[in-house]
């Protein structure tokens, strides 16, 4: 009988330790250097799964000891995988490309696909550039460096790089004004120094919310908290495609702090009347230029489609086109950068690194970039999995965008192979092992979020194919169809391994029904805490990724003891009760999935029983 390591055991604590180490190290996370995708799983987890799908030979302790050594030593991992070939590994929901990148780095053959064109663009770009030699990657980094410097010269020629005092600008902070009411969470610039700007003058204050008018989703009007939707009334007037700022009587953005370079330091200054006039002059310049930039394809004149995430953009700000999510200074930077790339790029790789840098600029410099007062920097647009209009935000000047533009290009050391756009519910090539992070109902609307980038990357995207994404349609039916298709494509003795990061009972029930409908057997479930204490993520959000091992044949596998699972994942040591409850919920869902395979019966009934057993 074919038994794999992962059927019987898993180095849960070691993978948790390595995943936490990976998340704390930018060098250990190569894919964000290419571009933004949501919810990539750690390479250490994927490597552990690959190693775990080799045959189980020897006693449990010796298997785990060798396994853990290979997790720490890449050459040993390559040796083990070369001696025990896995065949072809498929990821049908490839997302940000973590599975194929890990496979490429370990010399494992793979197939990858997704229904989202932006996903395929990012995955193929990382695989193509990651396969280049170090010298070639350094040359491309040099190309971007020269392009960055040329953009700086062009922006300087435009006349908007310095403040009214002649100092090079680094950051401008704006707050909103909704129908005459100032909207700002705090007038503190920096929590560490306690520096604030109150009534147009610098001061220090112990109150972190000093001067703030926005709190708990409400804004102060004559001293009374008022809901934003009440202040908006019937809604804001939709913007025309030619607009770059709101109407004065509706929504304005007011500069209230500027960080500049002076004598080798960065200092904060209060905007003067001349600074405000310069900001208005920049707006007029962009307004006059916009039609020409549309014609040249430098700015996409693309309407924002209706959707769960996108509807709020129109409702809360009146934004109707994707370029409305960028302030005038940000639009000018995007245009000048594309002009330079177009004029200087001599081959496909140079155009590709330019497109990736453009995507990083979009993520790190939009109207949705929150000002982090603890670190005195702007966060990325997608600091969470949503499109959130902000009451106050930061706009980076070109010097502050250098780290986003100039990223070193990581290498995976393997051969390149292209991912393809495909629906997981449609027939495709056979495979021996599937490792994937499937979508979760409507938890993340990837089709809506990825449009933020894809409208700027049209020249690089594969043609879309007909079909509604799983998270946008009948999710339960779509998941069942996907699993039935995967079962039909899987060769004898294969495995489907899921990295399932949900704690909602409904998600686990949907998964159980999909597994049953596809005629698959749950061999094992292994909850792994990807952010062990001291955790990065607190509150009601879980931090578990449950490794679910599926096969066609029944066979020996892991037990279904929920307490043992929770203990192995270290959940009882968590001092955050909300997060612990969310993680225990995920652990219970995983155990119910395994228990229904072993004992039969309704997984929902098993889940309720296990939740009582764990006292969640």
pLDDT greater than 70 at residue 537: no
Distance, CA of 557 to CA of 277 (rounded, Å): 70
Distance, CA of 210 to CA of 289 (rounded, Å): 39
Q: Between the CA of residue 557 and those of 5, 6, 51, 56, 578, what are the distances in Å?
A: 10, 8, 17, 11, 31
pLDDT at 436: 97
pLDDT mean over 526-550: 70
pLDDT greater than 90 at residue 1: no
- Taking only the tens place, the pLDDT of each residue in 385-414 is 889 999 999 999 999 999 999 999 999 999
Long-range contacts of 23-32 (CB under 8 A, 24+ apart): 23/530, 23/531, 23/536, 30/101, 30/126, 30/130, 30/410, 30/412, 31/96, 31/97, 31/98, 31/101, 31/122, 31/126, 31/410
| 3 state DSSP class of 382 | coil
Distance, CA of 435 to CA of 419 (rounded, Å): 15
Domains and CATH numbers, the chain: 5-132+411-614 (3.40.50.150), 137-405 (no CATH)
pLDDT at 471: 63
In the numeric block, which tokens belong to residue 499?
Answer: 């990295």
Share of the chain above pLDDT 70, in %: 96
pLDDT at 168: 98
157-161, 335-339, 449-453, 540-544: least confidently modelled range: 540-544
Mean pLDDT of the chain: 91
Three-state secondary structure of 198-261: ECCEEEECCCCCCCCCEECCEEEECCEEEEHHHHHCCCCCCCCCCCCCCCCCCEEEEEEEEEEE
- Taking only the tens place, the pLDDT of each residue in 11-30 is 998 999 999 899 888 888 99
pLDDT at 31: 95
In the numeric block, which tokens belong to residue 392?
Answer: 């106050």
Between CA 41 and CA 94, with CA 416 as vertex, the angle to 5 degrees is 30
Position 542 confidence tier, pLDDT thresholds 50, 70, 90: low
- Taking only the tens place, the pLDDT of each residue in 289-342 is 999 999 999 999 999 999 988 999 999 999 999 999 999 999 999 999 999 999
Distance, CA of 229 to CA of 399 (rounded, Å): 37
Sheet of strand 89-91, all strands in order from the earlier edge strand to the far edge: 420-421, 110-114, 89-91, 431-436, 490-500, 544-551, 521-529
Nearest by Cα to 298 from 366, 367, 381, 354:
354
Q: Residue 303's beta-bridge partner residues?
A: 321
pLDDT greater than 70 at residue 443: no
pLDDT greater than 90 at residue 616: no
Dihedral over alpha carbons 554, 557, 562, 568 (to 10 degrees): -150
- Taking only the tens place, the pLDDT of each residue in 234-274 is 889 999 999 999 999 999 999 999 999 999 999 999 999 99
Phi-psi region of 239 (alpha: psi -120 to 50; beta: other; left: phi over 0): beta
pLDDT at 415: 84
Distance, CA of 387 to CA of 368 (rounded, Å): 7
pLDDT greater than 90 at residue 580: no
Distance, CA of 603 to CA of 589 (rounded, Å): 9
Which positions ≥6 away from 408 have C-beta within 8 Å? 33, 137, 141
- Taking only the tens place, the pLDDT of each residue in 170-198 is 999 999 999 999 999 999 999 999 999 99
Q: Between the CA of residue 551 and those of 187, 486, 488, 555, 556, what are the distances in Å?
A: 57, 11, 12, 9, 11
Identify the DSSP state of 10: -
Distance, CA of 606 to CA of 392 (rounded, Å): 47
In the numeric block, which tokens belong to residue 5?
Answer: 């390591």
pLDDT at 441: 67
Higher pLDDT, 573 or 605: 605
Pairing state between β 521-529 and 544-551:
antiparallel
Nearest by Cα to 586 from 416, 444, 440:
440
- H or E segment and range at residue 66: helix 60-72
Within 10 A of 585 (CB to CB), how many other CB atoms are there? 22
In the numeric block, which tokens belong to residue 411?
Answer: 């290498």
pLDDT at 539: 42
- Taking only the tens place, the pLDDT of each residue in 590-605 is 888 888 888 888 888 8
- H or E segment and range at residue 286: helix 273-295
Higher pLDDT, 261 or 540: 261
Identify the DSSP state of 380: P
Which positions ≥6 away from 38 have C-beta within 8 Å? 95, 96, 382, 385, 444, 446, 449
| 3 state DSSP class of 322 | helix
Which positions ≥6 away from 105 have C-beta within 8 Å? 43, 74, 412, 413, 414
Distance, CA of 169 to CA of 167 (rounded, Å): 6
CB 519 within 8 A of CB 487: yes
Distance, CA of 119 to CA of 444 (rounded, Å): 14
pLDDT greater than 50 at residue 535: no
Distance, CA of 368 to CA of 349 (rounded, Å): 30
- Taking only the tens place, the pLDDT of each residue in 64-119 is 999 999 999 999 999 999 999 999 999 999 999 999 999 999 999 999 999 999 99
pLDDT at 538: 44
Which positions ≥6 away from 357 have C-beta within 8 Å? 144, 337, 341, 404, 405, 406, 407
Nearest by Cα to 586 from 516, 529, 534, 538:
529
pLDDT mean over 188-209: 94
Nearest by Cα to 115 from 478, 386, 434:
478
Position 217 confidence tier, pLDDT thresholds 50, 70, 90: confident
């Amino acid at each position: 009988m074919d038994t794999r390591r992962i059927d019987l055991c898993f180095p849960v604590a070691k993978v948790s330790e390595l995943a936490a180490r990976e998340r704390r190290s930018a060098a250990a996370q190569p894919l964000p250097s290419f571009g933004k995708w949501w919810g990539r799983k750690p390479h250490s987890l994927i490597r552990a799964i690959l190693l775990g799908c080799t045959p189980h030979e020897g006693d449990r302790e010796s298997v785990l000891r060798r396994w853990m050594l290979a997790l720490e030593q890449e050459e040993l991992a390559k040796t083990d995988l070369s001696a025990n070939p896995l065949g072809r590994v498929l990821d049908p929901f490839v997302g940000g490309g973590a599975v194929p990148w890990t496979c490429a780095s370990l010399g494992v053959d793979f197939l990858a696909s997704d229904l989202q064109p932006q996903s395929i663009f990012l995955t193929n770009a990382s695989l193509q550039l990651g396969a280049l030699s170090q010298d070639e990657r350094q040359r491309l980094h040099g190309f971007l460096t020269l392009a960055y410097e040329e953009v700086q010269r062009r922006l300087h020629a435009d006349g908007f790089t310095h403040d009214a005092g002649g100092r090079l600008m680094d950051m401008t902070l704006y707050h909103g004004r909704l129908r005459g009411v100032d909207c700002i969470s705090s007038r503190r610039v920096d929590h560490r120094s306690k520096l604030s700007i109150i009534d147009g003058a610098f001061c220090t204050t112990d109150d972190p919310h000093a001067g703030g008018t926005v709190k708990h989703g409400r804004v102060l009007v004559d001293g009374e908290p008022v809901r934003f939707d009440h202040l908006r009334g019937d809604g804001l007037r939709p913007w025309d495609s030619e607009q770059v700022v709101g109407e004065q009587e509706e929504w304005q953005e007011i500069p209230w702090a500027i960080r500049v370079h002076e004598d080798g330091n960065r200092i904060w200054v209060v905007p003067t009347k001349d600074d405000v006039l310069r900001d208005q002059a920049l707006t007029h310049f962009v307004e006059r230029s916009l039609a020409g930039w549309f014609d040249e394809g430098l700015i996409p004149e693309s309407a924002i489609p209706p959707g769960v995430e996108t509807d709020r953009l129109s409702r809360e700000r009146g934004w109707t086109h994707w370029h409305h999510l960028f302030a005038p200074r940000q639009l000018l930077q995007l245009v000048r950068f594309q002009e330079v790339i177009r004029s200087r790029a001599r081959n496909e790789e140079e155009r590709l690194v330019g497109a990736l840098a453009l995507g990083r600029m979009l993520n790190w410099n939009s109207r949705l970039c929150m000002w982090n007062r603890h670190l005195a920097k702007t966060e990325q647009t997608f600091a969470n999995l949503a499109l959130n209009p902000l009451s106050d935000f930061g706009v980076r000047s070109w010097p502050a965008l250098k780290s986003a533009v100039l990223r070193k290009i990581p290498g995976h050391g393997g051969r390149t192979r292209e991912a393809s756009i495909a629906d997981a519910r449609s027939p495709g090539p056979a495979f021996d092992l599937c490792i994937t992070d499937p979508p979760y109902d409507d938890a993340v609307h990837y089709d809506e979020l990825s449009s933020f980038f894809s409208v700027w990357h049209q020249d690089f995207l594969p043609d879309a194919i007909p079909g509604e994404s799983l998270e946008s349609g009948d999710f339960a039916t779509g998941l069942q169809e996907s699993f039935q298709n995967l079962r039909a494509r899987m060769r004898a003795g294969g495995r489907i391994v899921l990295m399932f990061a949900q704690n909602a009972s409904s998600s686990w029930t949907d998964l159980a029904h999909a597994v049953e409908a596809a005629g698959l057997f749950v061999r094992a479930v292994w909850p792994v805490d990807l952010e062990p204490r001291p955790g990065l993520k607190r509150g009601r959000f879980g931090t578990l990724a449950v490794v679910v091992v599926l096969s066609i044949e029944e066979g020996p596998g892991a037990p279904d003891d929920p307490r043992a699972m929770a203990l192995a994942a270290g959940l009882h040591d968590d001092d955050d009760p909300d997060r612990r409850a969310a993680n225990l919920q995920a652990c219970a869902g995983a155990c119910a999935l395994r228990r229904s395979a072993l004992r039969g019966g309704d997984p929902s009934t098993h889940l309720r029983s296990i939740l009582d057993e764990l006292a969640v």
